[in-house]
Structure 1
Amino acid sequence: MTADLTALDLEEAGAVLATESARFASFGWMRGTSGNLSVVLGRDPLRLAVTASGHDKGELTPADVVLVDGNGAAVHEGKPSAEAELHARVAALTGAGAVVHVHTVASVALGHRHPGGIVFKDIEMLKGVGQPAHDVEVTLPVIANSQDMKVLGDRLEAAREPRMPAVVVAGHGLYVWGDTPRQARHHTEVVEWLLELELTRR
């Protein structure tokens, strides 16, 4: 552990992420061992608790997290998600306190259909991401996938829409963030609802 963070801090973060993971897994959004979540534990230097690699996200325990640095590398021990670097990039770029990555059918399908971004307008549910329900268009960015997290992070930074706390990675899934794990959960559920609505319209 680091000077400012204790094993108890990491365990408490693990308990929160285990609960959130079980919720998303119950929706079918984290099938198999897919998906990953993180919560920021410190800013100077940046430290995040990230779900460990290779675990069923519906069965996580408080111990199934890894402390990582601002580059997504394990600080002490354990194997974090392969996408931990992108979680750290999102946290640094947006100031988010928590990041959610899920693999939903709607996000993958619409990412293919709308490579330039998915536009939402005049939908009451937009209030769930802090936007007016009417007379404003909000675009959910879509970026091309890459196995290189630096490349993916650069694409996310270039495409990010500050009014939308999410981005779709084409052929992959959805990244969403918020100030807290609870807000990130709410944002994820709202954005996924918007995507499902758009999918049914087509």
Structure 2
Amino acid sequence: MKTFDTQSQQVIELAQFCSDKGWLPATSGNLSVLVDKDPLQVAITRSGADKQRLKREDILLINEKMEVLGDSPFRPSAETRVHIELYRKYGCGSILHVHTVFNNLIGELYGEQGGVQVKGHELLKALGHWEEAAEIFIPIVPNWADLDKLGQSVAEHAIHDVPAVLVRAHGIYAWGDTPDAARRHLEAVEFICEYLYRLRLVRG
């Protein structure tokens, strides 16, 4: 049974995984796990929390209006709007947002094209694409300072069978039906971003 306590622990475990990878530098990023679909309730990291040393009080329960439910002196992440828009669109179980060098490099290299094409790579299977010579398009959106606009842009450009969107000069949002699926999708896309960048260097 999903409860705020169980889902908060999931957020903490996801944060530890991402922190161990070096994907949450300088208190950046935000992570969330669905608690209830109707009405929408989400366990999400608070603003300014150090994800490398996340504590139970650093996780907030919020509703669809981004209001904190229960007693807490903290406020949710500034980018909570993006999470809410993705939950509305996909009814997913978890959303992970991290900042890495490689997803930023790919965002810059392919940002003017609105996304990056990936074809025939083995790790596309981790995103659910098992067909021969599978091909996907990972969207890249501008880093809008208006966070309502950013949330709308990420949700608008998200593709139903590609569980990730890159935000130029910012980071990546990845999601899945479960926390494990979101983690798998994030790890796969991060690997692909590094691969694409290194391949470009080799090819000149």
Question: Does TM, scored on the shorter chain, surpass 0.5?
Answer: yes
The structural deviation recorded for 1:133 is 5.3
Give structure 2 stretches of 5+ with no counterpart.
none
What's the counterpart of residue 192 of structure 1? 190
Write the distance in 2 (CA, Å) between the matches of 1:81 and 1:174: 15
Give the one of 33, 36, 57 matched to 1:39: 33
The runs of at least 4 aligned residues of structure 1 exceeding 4 Å deviation read: none
Write the distance in 2 (CA, Å) between the matches of 1:32 and 1:158: 29
Percent identity, please. Answer: 34
Preserved CA contact (<8 Å) 2:92 2:176: yes
1:74-95: CA deviation from partner (whole Å, max 9, x where unpaired): 2333311111121111111111
Q: Are 2:179 and 1:162 equivalent residues in the alignment?
A: no
Write the distance in 2 (CA, Å) between the matches of 1:201 and 1:113: 13
What's the counterpart of residue 61 of structure 2? 67
- SS of equivalent residue, structure 1 residue 187: helix
What value does the CA root-mean-square deviation take over the aligned residues? 1.4
Preserved CA contact (<8 Å) 2:102 2:197: yes
The structural deviation recorded for 1:11 is 2.6
The structural deviation recorded for 1:96 is 0.6
What's the counterpart of residue 5 of structure 2? 11
1:96-149: CA deviation from partner (whole Å, max 9, x where unpaired): 110000001111111011012011001111000001353332000000011222
What's the counterpart of residue 105 of structure 1? 101
What's the counterpart of residue 25 of structure 1? 19
Write the distance in 1 (CA, Å) between the matches of 2:133 and 2:7: 39
Which is richer in helix?
Answer: 2
What's the counterpart of residue 43 of structure 2? 49
What's the counterpart of residue 81 of structure 1? 77
Give structure 1 stretches of 5+ with no counterpart.
none
Aligned length: 195
State TM-score, norm by structure 1. Answer: 0.91
- What amino acid is aligned across from residue 57 of structure 2 in structure 1? A
Preserved CA contact (<8 Å) 1:126 1:133: no
Give the one of 165, 174, 177 matched to 1:176: 174
Give the one of 134, 137, 144 matched to 1:136: 134
State TM-score, norm by structure 2. Answer: 0.90
Write the distance in 2 (CA, Å) between the matches of 1:106 and 1:71: 33
Preserved CA contact (<8 Å) 1:117 1:142: yes
- What amino acid is aligned across from residue 41 of structure 1 in structure 2? V
Over 3 Å counting, the alpha-carbon distance change for 1:18 and 1:119 in structure 2 is same
Correspondences of 1:118-133 after superposition (within 5 Å): 118-132=116-130
Write the distance in 1 (CA, Å) between the matches of 2:90 and 2:194: 25
Write the distance in 2 (CA, Å) between the matches of 1:88 and 1:192: 23
